[in-house]
Amino acid sequence: MTPRTHRIADLMFPLDEFYADHGDAMPAAEAIDGALMPQPYRGLLVHERDMTSTLEEFFGSPIGLRLLEVRRDETWLRRQVVLVAGAGERPVEYGAIRINLEAFAPPVLRSIIECRRPLGAILHEFRIGHQCRPSAFFRCRSDPTTRSIFALSSEMVLYGRHTNLFDGGRRTIAEVVEILPPIEMSEST
């Protein structure tokens, strides 16, 4: 497997595990240069900040979490989620996250395991220093899952990123794939 092929194959991890377990095909994803991504997606995805605070700023609303599925072993918590904005709980991101449970102290760990809030909100609440390092940007066609989550009536191009989060000691604390719905520039506050 060439490095580029390997990179494309890993674009959707850990979301691909949830699809595979349900026997569903992943949407075909194509890696793209972040600088070539159209706005507002470039501003929302091509940066080294966590998505929770980025989406809160863009939509002018706290971001909540709708848990679709969770899996846990001794080391990792994996969750498939929809991030939602505002009182109407508008879906503003779909994806999956794999969180390294060994990287957190008990009070933080309890909040993570509850699966009620986005990881970014928890990291900010507990003032945990972290770095977000996008490893790839992509575009994909909506599939039945994303069309249902984002209430899309037809197939559309969606944009996303694959990101690794590190603590101050450069230990991986999470790996995330994030897909945004269609968004108009006029939607930001």
Task: Parse the chain into domains and list their residue ranges.
Answer: 3-187
- List, in sequence order, every residue forming a beta bridge with 69; answer none if it has no partner: 80
**Structure tokens of 68?**
């679709």
pLDDT at 168: 82
The superfamily (CATH) of domain 3-187 is Chorismate lyase-like (3.40.1410.10)
> What proportion of the chain, given as a percentage, has pLDDT over 70?
93
pLDDT at 8: 52
| Cα within 13 Å of Cα(14), Cβ side | 19
pLDDT in tens, 99-126: 999 999 999 999 999 999 999 999 999 9
Rounded-to-integer distance, Cα 126 and Cα 121, Å: 9
Comparing 138 with 27, the larger pLDDT belongs to 138
- Residue owning tokens 């979490």: 65
Alpha-carbon distance values, 112 to 3, 8, 129, 158 (Å): 33, 29, 16, 28
pLDDT in tens, 4-40: 443 555 789 999 999 999 999 998 899 999 999 999 9
Say if residues 146 and 87 touch (Cβ distance below 8 Å). Answer: no
